[in-house]
Amino acid sequence: MVVAPAEHGRIVVEGVSKSFGPVRAVNELSFVVEPGGVTGFLGPNGAGKTTTLRMLLGLVTPDSGVARIGSRRYADLPTPAHEVGAVLDASGFHPARSGRDHLRVSCTLGGLPLRRVDEVLDLVGLSDAGTRRVRGYSLGMRQRLALAGALLGDPPVLILDEPTNGLDPEGIAWMRRLLQGFAEQGRTVLVSSHVLSEVQQLVDQVVIIRRGQLVHHGPLAELSGPDAHVVSIRSPRTEALTAALSAAEGCRVERAGPDRLRVTGVPASRIGDIAFAAGVMLHELTPHAVGLEDVFFSLTNATGTDSDPGVDPPGGAVTCGR
């Protein structure tokens, strides 16, 4: 087991930008991931997560900025297999090669002893499938094989892109125990996902990006803050109510039907007060229990025009009172 000093296993992303043609995939992104925890790297599809990880791992050259593992860029690590284990592509296997041979190739290239192959196969629960060709593996088995490859060098830093894809709930629970075990050993674990609920049980810190920019970085517990109110309203005078709610701080109003609104950011009692003061009658006022997923969704879809700028989404959302 490797327990490295904190400085050593820190992941540092500093002002990194990358464009592909006219598309700015990552824009001046900075964050630091500390050892000893599992950090979720979250954002919707196309937010720039994979590009960021690829820049961190020296596969994509940033237009500007620098990403480092400890004090070095990935390409400058003297023995990368011993220092960072990464899974970027759980489909990155030659279908005609057996899982065991795949790992033996990586071992040889990385200058690692071949006995590690059976050790990691055992660790990820693939001992029985090792000699079979990868062609016959399920998506979950491929995820396990990819993870096995990342663990060959027993690295202090683990970087996993969408590791829960294709895992059943049992597999996710297994992954959680494994990664939290690594974090307790003082290793750095960074896990990306586009679905918060899949990694919610896995992570203690989150880095959330949207359109290549940082929108939130901190403990997972802080995500469910005072913003986490969602209230359904039915009223015959939605226009007047929307106008009245516009004055409230942090409030976001969405039209949910001809006489329905969905309001986030203020508690139901406050909405009742505002409606009363404005003289608007309410036929329904239902507060919803807000999951982290809603907070995540509101963070990553701030104005509803992310994926398709210039086109208003149906229903029309208004952010007000900021």
Partner 1 sequence: MWPLIAGEARKVLTTRVWLWLLLAAAGLTILYAVLTMAFADTPDALTAPLTTAEGQRTLFAVGGAAAPFAALLGAIGLTAEYRHRTATITFLTVPHRGQIITAKLIVHVLAGAAYAVVCISITTAVVPPWLASQDISIAVPARDLFATDLGVVTSVALFAAIGVGLGALIREQVAAVVTLLIYLFVVENILTNITALHQWTPYLPGQAQEALIGSTLTNQSLLTPWQGGLVLTAYSLAIATIGTLLTAHRDVT
| Shorter beta-carbon distance to partner 1: residue 76 or 273 | 76
Tell me: does residue 111 bind partner 1 (CB under 8 A).
Answer: yes
| Shorter beta-carbon distance to partner 1: residue 94 or 177 | 94
43: left (phi over 0), alpha (psi -120 to 50) or beta: left
* Residue 148: CB minimum distance to partner 1, A: 12
Tell me: does residue 135 bind partner 1 (CB under 8 A).
Answer: no
Tell me: does residue 156 bind partner 1 (CB under 8 A).
Answer: no
Neighbour-count burial of 133, counting CB atoms closer than 10 A to its CB (0-12 exposed, 13-18 middle, 19+ buried): middle
Q: Which residues contact 97 (CB under 8 A, 6 or more apart)?
A: 105, 133, 134
Answer for which of 27, 39, 52, 98 binds partner 1 (CB under 8 A) is 98
Answer for which of 109, 309, 310, 322 binds partner 1 (CB under 8 A) is 109
Answer for which of 8, 97, 132, 237 binds partner 1 (CB under 8 A) is 97
- Other C-beta atoms closer than 10 Å to the C-beta of 128 total 8
| Shorter beta-carbon distance to partner 1: residue 50 or 264 | 50
| Shorter beta-carbon distance to partner 1: residue 75 or 281 | 75
52-81 positions binding partner 1, by CB under 8 A = 54, 57-61, 74-75, 77, 80-81
**Nearest-5° Cα angle at 169, 118 to 123:** 15
Tell me: does residue 238 bind partner 1 (CB under 8 A).
Answer: no
Size of the site for partner 1 (CB under 8 A): 34
Contact 282, 272 (CB under 8 A): yes
Answer for which of 51, 143, 235, 238 binds partner 1 (CB under 8 A) is 51
What does each C-alpha distance from 94 to 105, 134, 142 come to in angstroms?
11, 7, 11
CA dihedral defined by 102, 108, 109, 113, rounded to 10 degrees? Answer: 110
**Nearest-5° Cα angle at 238, 235 to 241:** 100
Tell me: does residue 89 bind partner 1 (CB under 8 A).
Answer: yes
Please list the residues that pair with 3 across neighbouring strands: none
Residues that bind partner 1 (CB under 8 A): 51, 54, 57-61, 74-75, 77, 80-81, 84, 86, 88-89, 91-98, 101-102, 104-106, 108-111, 149
